[in-house]
Amino acid sequence: MTTSTGLKTDHYELTMVQAALRSGAAHRRVVFEVFARALPSGRRYGVVAGTERVVDAIGLFCFEPADLEFLSGFLDHDTVDFLARYSFTGDVDGYREGDLYFPGSPVLTVEGTFAETVVLETLVLSILNHDSAVASAAARMAVAAADRPLLEMGSRRTHEEAAVAAARAAYIAGFAGTSNLAAGKSYGIPTIGTSAHAFTLVHDDESSAFAAQVAALGDATTLLVDTFDVDDGVRRAVAAGGRDLGAVRLDSGDVGAGAVAARRLLDGLGATATRIVASGDLDEFSLAALASAPIDSFGVGTSVVTGSGWPTAGFVYKLVEVEGRPVAKTSLGKATVGGRKVMTRQYDAGGHVLAERAVKGGPARSTDHGMQTALVRDGHAQSRPSLEEVRRFHRHARDTLAPAHLDLTDGPPAVVVTYEGAER
């Protein structure tokens, strides 16, 4: 199987290259910026994710012989020859993975010749739009869960490759583990999982199923107790695993009321250390509603891998500078701000973010903090933080939001991005 990412693009990216090679514009030095014009309705912030995957994908962006043969069906000889020799030689800067973004934040800046940068548009957007949508939803869920562990288990609700990326994005934003083994192998994310209802049903009765699971996995395992009657399931779980049983899981019905009843029953049976895990179509709003329930951790699937109703971050990839000259669209509803932007962020004495602005020439105040970091220089990837460092950085970034900006109530973005010295 090929590892090249060259064909993970749109047809018109390459026809633009063909026309630009003929006009001479292909070799002009340009700057593209990636930003979102708006956040999903009512949300106060977004979370950047997928940056490292973008850098890796750019490094693999090339065209193999079979790709070139396919492309020769609609591209001319000069364009195919250009693509045969393609290797990105430009620069990429971006917000740190795990950071927050707001409408207008240029989360990624790509600089190089027009021909080598325009072809990256589709690939860059497909990664950042997916991963940032998942991370943004996951961050809201982490807040709603009041930092009780969240387990990502949405692989069966999305594309098989997207599932791996979604697990990584959710982990960045605060999830504690994933059910996806490929994500565990690829990124070192803790993997979790014990059994489904099918395991109970394949046995002669619930007690036999529980006994088999404990025998195989030990008494620290988690038993799924809602296949039939929850109260009976809890009693049989304790009978099988003893007072040291690791956890019971509720996956259906009113999990809040079920957790209260299960906790009372577990305590009455002496299994006071046995934890309760809840799952079943949870999202940030149902997690918030379960704030007072005696639940120790949550499994979240569909809502996190689909961005909780917003499966894309809405990022666009727009040309803002040509040969050092700012360029901007004036299209109704799709206007852009021209010129490469140096972004800074201001914080109050308590460390809460106050403003984000673009400053021509660099930070203008000693209290400003630059936003972008070098990701690629002259086509070469720069050193990157580990995934654990990214997780810690995200938690720090999240803590810069005022408490009012972290709740789930609708409201405007926490920060308005302004542009000083940029051209419209």
pLDDT in tens, 59-111: 999 999 999 999 999 999 999 999 999 999 999 999 999 999 999 999 999 99
The yes-or-no verdict on residue 401 having pLDDT over 80 is yes
pLDDT on residue 5: 96
Q: What is the pTM of this model?
A: 0.95
pLDDT per position as a tens digit, 123-133: 999 999 999 99
The yes-or-no verdict on residue 423 having pLDDT over 70 is no
pLDDT on residue 270: 98
Residue limits of CATH 3.20.140.10 in the chain? 11-134+316-420
Percent of the chain scoring above 90 in pLDDT: 92
Instruction: Give the residue-averaged pLDDT of 155-162.
Output: 96
Instruction: Give the residue-averaged pLDDT of 287-304.
Output: 97
pLDDT on residue 330: 87
The yes-or-no verdict on residue 171 having pLDDT over 60 is yes
Instruction: Give the residue-averaged pLDDT of 212-239.
Output: 98
List b or e across 252-266, with b for residues whose CB sees 16 or more CB atoms inside 10 angstroms: eeebbebbbbbbebb
Instruction: Give the residue-averaged pLDDT of 388-411.
Output: 95
How would residue 256 be classed by pLDDT, with cut points 50, 70 and 90? very high
pLDDT on residue 364: 47
CA dist list (Å): 112 to 246, 270, 321, 323: 55, 66, 11, 10
CA dist list (Å): 276 to 103, 212, 220, 294: 39, 20, 12, 7
What's the DSSP call for residue 223? Answer: E
List b or e across 79-106, with b for residues whose CB sees 16 or more CB atoms inside 10 angstroms: bbebbeebebebbbbbbbbbbbbbbbbb
pLDDT on residue 58: 98
Tell me, which fold does domain 11-134+316-420 have in CATH? nicotinate phosphoribosyltransferase (3.20.140)
